[in-house]
Structures are given as structure tokens and as C-alpha cells.
Structure 1
Amino acid sequence: MEKSQSSSPHTSPHDPNNQYDDVPPPPYHELEATEWSPLSRGDTGITHDGRIDIDLSSRLTKSLVKLVPNEDDQPTHDPSHRFTIQRAWNIRLNIVIQVVGSRGDVQPFIALGQELQKYGHRVRLATHNVFDSFVRESNLEFFPIGGDPKELMAYMVKNPGLIPSMKSLKEGDIQRKRTMISELLDGCWKSCVESDPQSEQPFVADAIIANPPSFAHIHCAQALGIPLHLMFTMPWSSTKAFPHPLANFKVGEIDPEKINHASYGIVEWLTWQGLGDVINKFRHSLDLEPVPTTVGPVLAEVLKIPFTYCWSPALVPKPMDWPSHIDVCGFFFRDPPPYNPPREIDAFLREGPPPVYIGFGSIVIEDPGKMTTSILEAVRMCGVRAIISKGWSNLGEGVSDTKDVLFIGDCPHEWLFQHVTAVVHHGGAGTAACGLRNACPTVVVPFFGDQPFWGEMIAAAGAGPKPVPHKLLTSQSLCEAISFCLAPEATTAARRICSQMVTENGVTAAVQSFHANLPFEAMHCDVTPNLPATWMYKKAPIKLSKLAAQTLIAKGVIGQNDITSHETNPVSIINTRWDPVTGVGSACTSIVSDMTSATKGMIVDPYTSIQHSTATTTITKNIATSTAKGIGKFNIALFKGTIVELPLAAAEGFRAIPKLYGEEVKQHEEVKDWSSGFRVAGKNFAHGMVDGVHGLVREPSEGLKSGGGLGLAKGVGKGTLGFLTKTTSAALGIVAYPGDGICKSIRHAAKSGTRKRIRIARMGEGDFLASKAHEEDMRVITKNFERLRGR
């Protein structure tokens, strides 16, 4: 039933008299890949939205399709359990939430931060400087990371599918974006280790929560050795159920489900091509090794980073092929802020039937005047009243309000959407959620990103028309879309979704998901169990918090040199080799890149030193120093590449070949230093030689038993191939693994600056906490430590 045009503007659509409030929500269920419609068919019906057209015949597509897991390889999980573990959490953490995006991207994380505070966590929200007051007014700690969200939004509107247009290239947008990403990466790192800008209270993160576009998250977590949890409002994890929201393809000869899965890798691959060098430069500043090109695009999935999606499972259920460390929790809603509407808004709502809301929030529209004209004409054609939000594009500039149209500034959607009959917006997840939560039929006018995805989902649920891309928006198409929303069928569908969403608490569920995926045993301090462990006592396996360690040092119980950093979640990035050909090829590419970079440095750096020098002696000295550094880097790249990287790639590639014909390959321990390198070399040599020789007998024998003469022939072939590959890997590994370990030991000793800075920052926070602690608490800490130490 359509909303009554005579109802009070202050009546919620889900009041006690609403018949749809009594409709029970459907049971939470997992999504079969074949259930998805329309996206499982690859037929989204969206054009001119800038998404990435996937060429099904390209080499990249065909390569990634081969990596799609088979049905037998799919993870299984119990649909009745939303989370991996349900447990109480009593460790108070320093949590930094890193968010890049618009106000709509930041707002859900404010709700999350407020919920985390209820568990005693200290929560810092790190985002763009312009959101300072927005965050602090919510009683959360704020840390500025730089970057201009308006510029980001403008870039995304012009390049919605990530691939830059010629106009953007000519206007220099790409270089500005890369410069901004560098600024954001640096800001995100500072948010993990620097004191509060206002109170100057020390802060070192114990855990990181981030949205994927912040990019720095995995690298900051690796440098600190702490847990990371990703949260986002759009699909970012490979699934056969539906394609990446930024991908566009037509069904061809390849199975659509496989293309859906591969589309995530393709989008990540293209993103890495544009930003990989910027990210590796950032990693260099943290004393981390560069991420290989073959690993960078799939880093989060390879490392199995926990992921929480903040949308309603009533709208998009969790796909069956997502593993247990990925959750779908529901939309994040903050507690509605106190709000008294301005007189003009209150009067407009009272003077007529409920209006339609039209607004595009943080979107920076290229021609706001033309958009305003189209909107006003559509409103007139539909014969409706409208509240139009000016937004960042300042819609309606120079246009006067009328009895049927009111232009407004910032106004909380939580309040406003209770008083409108339908909403028209860009399709941001937060705005879409708020509209559906208030039973508002919705028109989505997508510009970029996940907006077409949410428009399709709303249309599939019947709560709105097919999305109308902004480039195709006319007064006629907008009028038709609004008319669709005013029909009884759309109102009924919107109320049905609303009745399901009111039973969910996405923020509470997300915090449960976050806690469930934390490494509890590694995180708690043995002396103060309600605080996270940061240090390890060298003389006994006792984990210590910042407060406990500094208290014991202050009391003279232990010295500073008696403790070493404790990583609660160590991260190792391994460059997996599929075979010797691609392995060696990738290694050669990396070596040539390093040598080219060093050669460039030999030429460019001396010239740069001349520009920054005045005295002749200084110029000569700087030229000599710069040239020497360049030659040194060139020699290191050449030596390491030929003596370590090429043999290592070949050894790992030959070792992996038996996988190609179904044989399980024994995994070896990670090479972290010279000692582990020699251990791996010895074990790999012994296993390779013994198993290679044994296979010459075993494979023909088993083949004969199972397949007769033909099986014998196949067995001889497999045994011979196994002997050659395993013994070759064994021989190469004698040099490769120790060499790799020695290089890592040297690097660990030389690249210690970041570790030292982290140590100083953690001890500084410990000093601050100890200065605020009561004497009785310090006595308890000392007593507990002495008991654990056995004295």
C-alpha cells in the first residue's frame, strides 16, 4: 500500500500500526551460486557506468580462470552459525580504524567505533582531515591522514572503472591521485604509532580495522606484527556467486561462475598495476621487503585476512564459497544524533504530503546546473513535492525554493528519511541502507564503485527501478523512476525489507566477528590478562603488556634489555612458484627491474645532487656519493638476483611440478634467517633425493596395479618426471635456501630503523600508563610476574 499522502510528516513508516512490522524475517541462509539473479548470469544491464569490460579471450582472463577452485576445493561452513567463535572479550585494545572515502564511507565506522568502546577498547578513527569534527563529535579519537575526499570523489566520477580517461591523463589527475595515495599511506602509518594530536597521549595500535581502499592496512599490520580485520560495504572477496561490482562482461564460452570468481583477481590486478610501485615504496619506508607482482593483487586472500561485510544478509546473503573468516553482518547504523530540524524544513514537511528526497551527497558532479534543471523538470512532470540536498556539488545554486521544492544543506538521513515517501540518491551503501531501513522505495543514480551493484540489488528486491546511470539521466527517465517508487508494489517491497532489517544489529554482529577472529591466546598479557601483550620476557616465556613491562622496569625487577617485541599476529608474504618456467621468468623480471632502477639512480641522483649543492667541493662529493650508491645497488641487485633469487625460483618451481599431476607436495618451514635456510636446504635435499629415487619404483608399480600396461607406461613417465624435478630442486636448494636465509638475516640486521621506532613508541606509551597506575596495581603486577617467573 502506498504511503498516505495525508499522514503526518513525523510518523515513522515502521510504527506499531504498520502491518509489515509483524511479518517475521526469513531465516538466515547461505547463497547458492545458482540462486543469484541477475548477476550470476553476468547480465547486469548497466552500461556507460565506467566499469571494467573483461575481455574473455585475453591471456590474463584465461590464466585467472584456471586458478578458480573446483567444487571439491570449496570451503564448507555451517549456515546456522554466523561467526567462527562466540566468546566474551575482556582484553582492552588500542584499535585504529583506517578509512578512506566520503562521509558515507566514514559514518558506518563511527557506529562501529562507538560499539567497540563499550568493550573498553581505545578507538582511534584515522581518516581525512575534513572529518575531524564529525568524528570527535561522536566521542571518538580522531587522527588525520591527509588526502582530499572531494578530489577523490571527482576523480572517481570521471574514471568510475579505475581505468583513467584521456581527459584525466591530460589534466594530470593520475599523478595527483598517486601523490595523494602516498600521503594517505604515510598518514595511515602515523595513525598506528603517533600520539593523539590534541591530548598528546601516546598510542600504539594493538589491532587494525580498515576498509580496503586505505591500502596501508596489511603493510602497517605486518610492520607491527598485529591483527588486521577488513570491513567494507561492497564485495571484495572472490566468489562464484556474483562478479566484482567494478567488472563488466558478457556471457561467452567460459562458465559465468568462473568469470565471476576471476573478475575479482582482474580488478585487483589492474589496481596493483597502477599503485604497486607506490605501495612498495611505502613498504621500503617501513623496512619491509617489496611485495612481488604475482602476490600483490591477491595479498588479502592469500593471507586469509578476516573480512566483515556490512550489509544486510536479507538483501545480499553470504555466498556458499566464502570461508568462515568472512562474515556478512548487516548494515552499520549509528545511534541517531540529537536533531532539531531548522524551521524551514519543519514547515515544508508540515505544509503538504510527504516529499521525495533527492540528493547525491559527496558526489562531485561535473555540471551541477544541468543536473539541477533535470531534477526540477522531473519533479514537475511527476507532480510531487521534493527535498533536494545541495551536497558537495551545491545543487540548486542560484535557484529559489518554491512551495513544492526545498533545497537543503546537511541533514541527518536517519531523521529525514522517516519523513519522505521515496529517496533518489547515488547508491552509496550507507544511504541505501538508511533508505531501506526507513521503508523508502529507492531510485539509484550510480556514478562509480559499488553504486551500480546496490542499485541492481534494490531493483532485484522490487524496492526500486533498475538503476539510472548519471550519464543517462534525463528529466523523463528520472520521472519514470520516481513514478515506479510511488507504485504500491515498490512500497510493499521496501516495507518487507525494512521488517527484516529491524531484526538485525550489524554493528554488534561486526564486533563479535572482529573479536572471534582475533588470536586470543597470543594477545593476552600473562601478568595483566585484561591488557594486550606487547613484549616477551627473554628469560622465560612470559608475555607482558606495555603497562606490565614498564612497571617492572620502573621497579627494577627487570631491565629494558630483558624484553623483546612480541608479535601477536606475525605476517609472512611468500612468493609462491607454480612451475620453474614462470618462476624463473618472474624472478628475471624482478632482477631486471631492480637493476634498471639502480642504473637510473646512477644517472639521476648525481644530477639531483648538483641541483641542491652550491660549493664546488660539495658538488663533487655529492656526485661521488650518489654514483657510488647507485653502483652499489646495481651490484647488489645483480649478485642477489643471480646467486639467490634465480636458483630459489627454480628450486621452488621444480618442487611444485608434481602438483600438476596430482601429487601432494610436502611443505617446508618458512625461511626467516640463515639457520632456517640451512635447515630447509638439508630437509629439501634429503626428501627430494629419497622421494625422487623411490618414485622411480613406486609410480610404475602403482600404475601397473591400477591400469595394466597403460598404467605402467604412465607410472614410468610420472616416476621419471618426479625424479628429475625433485632431485633438481634438491640440488638447487642446497645453494638457494641458505642464500635466501643469509640475505634475510643481513636485511634484518641492516633494516632495523622501523623496529627501533616501534619499540620507542611502545615504551613511551608504557611509561604514560605506568605514570597513571595506582600503587596497588603496580604491586599486583610485580607479584604476578614473580609468581610466573618461579621466585
Structure 2
Amino acid sequence: MGKSPSPEPEPGASPTPPPYAPYIDPQLTAESGDAHTDGRIDVHLDSKLAKSLAQIANQQQEDLYHAPPKAQHDEPTGCDVKLNIVIQIVGSRGDVQPFIALGNALQSHGHRVRIATHNVFEDFVKESFLEFFPIGGDPAKLMAYMVKNPGLIPQIKTLRDGEIKKKQVMVAEMLAGCWRSCIEDDPVTQEPFVADAIIANPPSFAHIHCAQALGIPVHLMFTMPWSSTKAFPHPLANLQNGSMENPGTANWVSYGVVEWLTWQGLGDVINRFRSSIDLAPVPRTEGPCLAEALEIPMTYCWSPALVPKPRDWPAHIDVCGFFFSDPPEYTPPPDLAEFLQSGPAPVYIGFGSIVVEDPQKLIDTVLAAVSKAGVRAIVSKGWSELAGPADTNVYYIGDCPHGWLFQHVSAVVHHGGAGTTACGLLNGRPTTIVPFFGDQPFWGDMVAKAGAGPEPIPHAMLDPQILAEAIQFCLTPEAEVAANGIALKMKTETGVETAVNSFHRNLPLQRMRCSVIPGQPAAWAYTQKKQSLTLSKAAMNILVEYKRIDTKNIKWFVYLFGHLTCYEMLTGDNSYAINPIIIENRRWDPLTGVLSAATSTGSNMLQSTGEMFYNPYKEYKKSRTPKPSEDDPSGSTPPINRSNSDAFQTAANMAGATLQGFGKFSATYFRGVIVDIPHAAAEGFRRAPQLYGEKPKEYGTVHDWKSGAIVGGKNFVGGMTTGVTGMIKHPLKGFIEEGRDGAMKGLAKGALGMATNMPSAGIGLVAYPFHGISKSIEAAFRTKTPKAIVAARLREGYVLTERMQLSKEEREEVVQVFDVLLSSMST
């Protein structure tokens, strides 16, 4: 569906929007916590998980995020590096639509943009002159699943029908498709493509993991709150009364609970995907809220006129405004034009990509409500193919740009998708929302609180009388005034350009620039004497062509935590990644850290013990399975006799399976005892001071044997020094501030510091090096994905060089610049 663009201000004039609050209004916050609409999850605030999350929330300092929220109208942010950007989207057409506008805006800045989404949207994407890559998955089936299971907990019928397994299979297919979209050639033109940056909506789930494997920036954009805040609860959360007195804490907790439930359903699928691209599994405690822990930049695509940015969101989270693309050229069919001109402006009623189980019941309800309200209506058929008997007051419409259509209606009734909600409000149309799942109840609540429509009507409660009353509410002068007020504010916003600025502002541009060819992104690193030059794909190709770099001298290896280091030259080690993503198993204190590591080790040992007995049995059963005889290809006649060689082979297979299980058991045991548990203890002791308000010292990350030895040494010196000096520093400081009582408190604090820092120093002296050695060993076996990435970058570099059509002189100039920079490094 097309959408109307925001009007441009007069040349030289600065837009002056009507004033609206920069932060969430406390009244709105309180009311949003009381909403009980379908599609929410019951969050029991007295549960152990909720109370644990509340402790974390209450321990956070108010100045955790120092930077104030950014203004909604950002100054343009330049980006002189032209990137390959893949935009990964999972969802309906309404989810894809905003990113079409974003993709076109990024193209205008010189970037190459590939939209990676479901196969059914290929024509939709290509019509907007954007590249397309299919990731699989059926959005219609996803929508049908979500309608039947509007929350995160599936119904019993869904479990009985095996739909959970089907959904997991579909998610696995889409994860694999998202990875291929980062490195594979265009499926039609065969033009090479390797992503330099990723933009994604959170439900695509592959984004962070693809970015980690490639070592590139990732930026999330969404139309639904996904970041923890005390301002309002998670849109999928229905807070149950509990003992939490602070509503803000309860709101913050709701995000963690929803994330934990989501991870429980998809964590195994995601970790299997990570294994397929040579990444270590995400620890169970880190999977939920991973994007927040890593501080992944996030841009929310809604109008601050409707939902302002909460004060507790950090600087890397922006609220930019809805995304609107230029409306397409549209000429209505004669019968639609005639219907619009033959009477009062009709009410639009449509549910877009929602797939309902009983379309006939829904259309009967809609038509009865239209009759009761005494209005004319345009009914969108949508994915449910709504249709009823001919009626002079009702027009059934197929695909039609909303940006054009909503200019000709008096009010809109729909499912509450963010895009449709935005388009209706931009045109000043009072809105009734009938939510089915996801963020739809959230938008229904926001529209109602703004006075631009009635309270949302959960689809399960929809009947002719309630819908007729909602339509009549939309036609009141008060609703029209409220909707027009929101429209006035929205028309001053430039959501797409603000989002582009947000994306550019969060890029690590200093690390992304090629040292040799300005404006091209770095993909390689050439290191000599601990100094590095960054090289683009084209620069690398030219230097290979002129024999400044010999491909025979390129070795494959994996960078820290599964990142790709593009190559290692004989002149030195190259550990270059534009945007390293490090996922650590954080430990909060020694007790829980050791217990967690021990539990994980025990669980893995139990699993490998089971395999020691079950795998030989599988081999035995496999040997007893009847095989088709040569005289009976159909397989109906099993063989009668088995030779001794078959028996010996079966015994050998069973013995091999037993030894394999024992080897896995032994490896798990020794890794747990020698690596995981001591490392958890060292980290737990090191981080323990944060429990009494002290910030623990950071000594770097462990990614191989060398860094493990360095961190172990630094932690030993730092831990011993801090433990001893703390016994003097804390009592003295306490005495100066509070006298004798302060000195006693300081003495206790110093003793506690010594009791945590010194054990961390002693244990860590061995634990960190062993942790690094284990990572080096793991990395040595992960070569498939790094080789694929390097091959793809070399392939694209060759094509880029040909496309640039550089003259011989221009190529030689690239080589000369490289030589000059190289000589400067030597001196």
C-alpha cells in the first residue's frame, strides 16, 4: 500500500512543529499498565524471575545512561563511505512497506541496498527498484499462527496439531535465508554481494549473529517497543497484580519476562543456526535481551507525537517518526471513483494481512455494524478474502494504496498494524483498531489515549453493536479534532531521513574507510609491524593484480569469538573486524557463577552419558533393519541370513559409538573442571564488588591463548593490588567523610574487596589462560564460514574493479598510494 509523503517546508525555512512532550506523560504511563487487551502475556510480578529482574532494575543507577535523549529533528549526518546494506525483514506486507521507503532513501545516499524478506514480496520490492533476496518462510502462515496464538504461550490445540514444530522449522529456514542474503550472489543476475552493514527488524532473529560472523555493524529498526523501559510495559505483557510497589519497575520487568519466554521457544533453533555458521552457542543467560546487553543501535519507526521517547532509553536508541514513501501514481477504477462521488465519505474497514479462521463470520459482523451505524463503507478484502452480498452502501476493494484511499474516507477501522495506523493518522482520520496480536493492542491503546479513536476492540469481542458504536465515535467532532492535531505534528516529521541519520551516526566510520580508495568500505586488513592498512574489496583485487599481495600468502583463520579475520599475511597477524561483537557469559557473583557453570557441565555430562548407551543401541537397531534383497527391489522380502562380516561391522560400529560418547563425556568433564568452572569462579569474584556499589575493573576480553595469558596476568596484578590498597583506601575515605563510623564501614568494605579480588587474582592466573586456549582450539575447527566469506569478498572485489572501469593510470595510482602508506609504516 502506498503512503503519502511528509510535506517539505518552504526553502530556507526551518520546520516548527506544534509543541509536544519529549517524554512519556506519567498519566499515560500509568494507564498503559492497566490495559487488558488480547494478545498480551500475563506477567506474574511475584514470580521468581520477575523478582530477580526487579532486583537488577533497582540496582541500576539513575545516571546509567549519561547522554540525554536526542532531539527528534536531527541535523543531517553525512556518510562518505558507500556501503552494501542488507535489510532483513520478517513479517507481513505492512512490515516490509516502511523498509522500502528506507531502502530508497539509503540509495539516494549512494548505498547499495538489498531487501531480504519472504519470497512472496519479490515483485513488491523490485517495483521500488531495490535488490531482492528471498529468505523463505510463509508470512500468511505466520499471520495465521499469531492470530490463533496471540501471545507467546501456544494453545493446547496448537501443541496437539504440531504447529510449534512447524513454526520452528520455518524460523530455521528464515535464519538460513538471512545468512545467505549477506554473502550470496543475486539469485537472478548472479551479481556478487557481501554485506558491509545489516539493518533488520528484531523478529528476523538472524541479525546479530550474521553481523558477528561477518564482523560488521548491525542496526535494528522496529515499529513496536522492544527495549526495556520503566515508562510503559512491553506491548505483549499483561501485568498481574503483585507485590511490586513501583510501577516503573514492573514495566521494566515485563520486557525481561517476555524476552525469556521468547528465548525458551527459539533459543535452540538460534543456537543450531549459529553452529551452522561457525559461531559458538549463546549462553542461556545471555540469549534473552542480547541486543540490549550488546547495546545494538535501535531506531523506532513511530511518531513521537503519538509515543515520545522514554527518558531511560540511552543515546543509541532513537524515535524517528513513521516511515512514509512517496505515493505511487494511482488512478482509481471507474466504479470506485463513482462510489466515492455518489454519497458521503465512506468509512474504510480492512484487516490487511490478518488471516482469520472464519472469514464469513467476520464479514457478517462488519456488514451488520455498517448498517447499524448508518454509514457507507469501503471493505478491504485482505488476506482473509472478505466478501459479502452486493450492497449500494458497501464497496469491496482489493489492493489499493492507502496513502491515496485514506484521503477520501471519513474514518478508518483496521487491525492496528503500525503502518496502517500511521497512514490513517497522517491523513487526520479518526481510527478504530480491532487488534489480533503483537503490537496491535499497543497502537489501539495509544490512539485511544490520544482521543483519535475509541478503546480498541479485541477481535474475540467484536460484534455488530460494539463496532457500530466505535464507528459513530470516530465520526464525532472531538475525534476528528484529535486526529487532525496528531496529523499536524506528524507532517512536520521526516521519519525516513531521521532514521537514515540515526543509522549513519551509529556507524564506526573511522574503522570502515579504505586507506587506499576513499569512499569505499574496508573489508580487509594488511598489517605490518603492528600497524594496519584497511583495504576495500576493489583495492585488494587491484593489489593482487599488481602482485603487491600474493594470494598464496593468504591463510584462513577465525577471529575472536567466531569473527572472520579476512586473511593473515606473512608480514604479520591481521585481526581486523569492522565491528567486533563479543558475547560473554557474564557472572554476577562467585556463587551463582560457579553453580551455573557446574549445572551446565553436569547437564552436558548427563547428555553425553545417555549417548554412550543410546548411540550403540541405535547402531544395533540400524543393523537389524531389514534391507531389500536384490531379487525384490520393493523391499518386501527381508534378507534371511546375515554374514559374519555384517556382525563384526555392527559390533565395530557399536564400539565406535560407545567410544565417541565416552570421548564426548570426557571432553565435557575436563572442560567443565579445568576451564568453565574455574573461569566462572574467577569472573564471579572479579565482578562481586558491583554487588556493593563498586565498579569492577576490566582487563580486556579473552579470544585466544595469547589474550587469555594477558588478561590472566593483568587480573592477577590488578586483583592483588586492589585487594591490598582497598584495606587502606576505604577506611581512610570513610573516616574523612563520616568519622569513626565511616572508618568502620570502610574497613568492612576493604575486607570484602580483599575477599573477592584476591581469589579472582589467584584463580584467574590459571583460569583465563586455559579459557583462551579452549577458544583457540575451538576456532581452529571453525573454517567453513570464514572461507565462504573470504571467497565471496574476493569474488565481489573482482566484479567491482571491472565495474569501476578504472584506467591503467588509475589502477597504478591505487598501487602507488598503497606503496607510500606501506613505506610510512616501515619508518
Name which of structure 1's ranges 510-519 and 749-758 shifts more when overlaid on structure 2: 749-758
Residue in structure 2 matched with residue 221 of structure 1 by the alignment:
211
1:696 is matched with: 727
In the alignment, what sits opposite 2:542? 551
Deviation at 1:596, TM superposition (A): 3.6
Question: Are residue 640 (structure 1) and residue 671 (structure 2) matched?
Answer: yes
Contact conserved, 2:40 with 2:236, CA < 8 A, in 1?
Answer: yes
Partner of 2:562: none
* Amino acid corresponding to residue 813 of structure 2 in structure 1: V
What is the match of residue 596 of structure 2?
586
The 1:500/1:129 distance shift into structure 2, 3 A limit, reads: same
Structure 1 counterpart of 2:817, which letter?
N
Shift of 1:368: 1.1
Mean Cα deviation higher: 748-757 or 546-555: 748-757
Amino acid at match of 2:250: I
1:568-717 correspondence runs (5 A)? 568-602=578-612, 611=622, 616=646, 623-717=654-748
> Counterparts of 1:704-783 in structure 2 under 5 Å?
704-776=735-807, 777-783=810-816
Does residue 389 of the first structure (1) align with residue 373 of the second (2)? no
Question: What secondary structure is seen at the aligned counterpart in 2 of 1:38?
Answer: helix
Pick closer, same or farther for the CA change 1:24–1:553 going to 2, 3 Å: closer
Note if contact 1:204-1:765 (Cα within 8 Å) is conserved in structure 2: yes
Tell me what 2:18 maps to: 26
Alignment of 1:63-212 (within 5 A): 63-68=52-57, 70=60, 72-78=62-68, 81-82=71-72, 86-212=76-202
CA distance 1:224–1:84, shift in 2 (3 Å): farther
List gaps (5 residues or longer) in structure 2.
Answer: 9-14, 555-566, 569-573, 628-644
Q: TM-score, normalised by structure 1?
A: 0.93
* CA gap 1:630/1:139 in 2 versus in 1, 3 angstroms: farther
2:402 maps to what in 1? 413
- Residue-by-residue CA offset, 1:326-377 (whole Å, 9 max, x unaligned): 1111101122122222232222212221111111011111211111111110
Structure 1 pair 324–29 and aligned structure 2 pair: CA distance change class (3 A): farther
Match of 1:4 in 2: none
CA distance in 2, matches of 1:590, 1:84: 47
Question: 2: distance between equivalents of 1:80 and 1:515?
Answer: 15
Relative to structure 2, which stretch is displaced further, 710-719 or 250-259? 710-719
Q: Which residue of 2 aligns with 1:300?
A: 291
Runs of 4+ in 1 over 6 A off after TM superposition: 12-16, 612-615
Residues 733 and 746 of structure 2 are in contact (CA less than 8 Å); yes or no, is this contact kept in structure 1? yes
Query: Equivalents in 1 of 2:310, 2:51: separation in Å?
Result: 23
Matched position secondary structure for 1:26: coil
Q: Given the alignment, which residue of 43, 66, 69 partners 1:54? A: 43
Matched, 1:790 2:779: no
Q: Any conservation in 2 of the 1:527–1:784 contact (CA below 8 Å)?
A: yes
Residue type at the aligned position of 1:635: S
Partner Cα separation in structure 1 for residue 791 and residue 675 of structure 2: 34
1:19 matched residue in structure 2: none
Q: Deviations over 1:668-706 (max 9, x none)?
A: 111111111111112212222232233334444444454
Aligned residue in 1 for 2:229:
239
After TM superposition, the structure 1 stretch with the greater mean CA deviation from structure 2, 75-84 or 229-238, is 75-84
Residue matched to 1:528: 517
Matched, 1:484 2:494: no
Secondary structure in 2 matching 1:54:
strand
Aligned-residue sequence identity (percent) comes to 56
Which sits farther off after the overlay, 606-615 or 246-255?
606-615
How far apart, in 2, do the equivalents of 1:50 and 1:454 lie? 12
State the AA in 1 paired with 2:434.
V
Q: Distance in 2 between matches of 1:13 and 1:325?
A: 26
Classify 1:626/1:216 alpha carbon distance in 2 versus 1 (closer, same or farther; 3 Å).
farther
CA-CA distance at 1:452 after TM superposition: 0.7
CA drift of 1:541 comes to 1.6
Computed over aligned residues only, the root mean square deviation of the Cα atoms, in angstroms, reads: 2.4
Q: Is the CA contact (8 Å cut-off) linking 1:44 and 1:456 kept in structure 2? A: no
| C-alpha displacement of 1:713 | 3.9
Q: What is the CA distance between 1:632 and its match in structure 2?
A: 2.5
Decide whether the 8 Å contact of 2:5 with 2:326 is kept in 1. no
- TM-superposed deviation, 1:598: 3.0
The aligned amino acid for 2:690 is K
SS at match of 1:125: strand
Which residue of the partner structure matches residue 434 of structure 1? 423
More divergent stretch after superposition (688-697 vs 268-277):
688-697
Number of aligned residue pairs: give it. 770
Distance 1:85 1:413, change over 3 A: closer
Separation in structure 1 between the aligned mates of residue 206 and residue 200 of structure 2, nearest angstrom = 9
Quote how far apart the aligned CAs of 1:83 are: 7.9
3-state SS of paired residue (1:124): strand
Q: Distance in 2 between matches of 1:232 and 1:508?
A: 15
Q: State the shift of 1:150 in Å.
A: 1.0
Separation (CA, whole Å) in 1 of partners of 2:124 and 2:135: 15
How far off its partner does 1:177 sit? 0.9
Question: Aligned-pair distance for 1:787?
Answer: 2.4
Counterparts of 2:392 and 2:75, CA distance in 1: 56
Contact 1:129 1:145 in 2 (8 A): yes
The one-letter code of the counterpart of 1:359 is G
Shift of 1:241: 1.0
- Deviation digits for residues 410-444 of structure 1 (CA, Å, limit 9, x no counterpart): 11111111111111000000000011111111000
Amino acid in the other structure paired with 1:583: G
**Deviation (angstroms), 1:296:** 1.0
Distance 1:534 1:235 in 2: 34
Superposed CA deviations along residues 566-605 of structure 1, whole A, max 9, x for unmatched, are 3110111112111111111211222123324434544555
The residue number in structure 2 matching 1:363 is 354
Matched, 1:273 2:264: yes
Are the aligned partners of 2:85 and 2:111 in contact in 1 as well (CA < 8 Å)?
yes
Residue pair 2:82, 2:519 contacting (<8 A) in 1 also: yes
Query: 2: CA distance between counterparts of 1:622 and 1:757?
Result: 33
Query: Following TM superposition, by how much is the alpha carbon of 1:611 offset from its aligned partner in structure 2, in angstroms?
Result: 4.5
Please tell me whether the aligned partners of residues 731 and 744 of structure 2 are also in contact (alpha carbons under 8 angstroms): yes
AA in 2 matched with 1:486: L
Q: Is the 8 A contact 2:32 2:445 kept in 1?
A: no
Greater displacement, 61-70 / 265-274: 61-70
Q: Aligned partners of 1:620, 1:432: CA distance in 2, in Å? A: 67
Distance 1:577 1:389, change over 3 A: same
Residue 20 of structure 1 is matched in structure 2 by none
**Given residue 177 of structure 1, which amino acid in structure 2 is its aligned partner?**
K
Aligned counterpart, 1:505: 494
**Which stretch shows the higher mean deviation, 588-597 or 610-619?**
610-619
Distance in 1 (CA, whole Å) between partners of 2:588 and 2:514 is 41
CA distance in 1, matches of 2:479, 2:615: 64
TM-score by length of 2: 0.89
1:578–1:657: 8 Å Cα contact kept in structure 2? yes
**Matching residue within 453, 464, 486 for 1:464:** 453
Q: Secondary structure at the match of 1:446?
A: coil
C-alpha deviation, 1:667, in angstroms: 1.2
Q: CA deviation at 1:39?
A: 3.5
Other structure's SS at 2:538 match: helix
Preserved CA contact (<8 Å) 2:6 2:494: no
What SS does the aligned partner of 1:433 have?
helix
Moved more, 273-282 or 63-72: 63-72
1:474 aligns with 2:463: yes
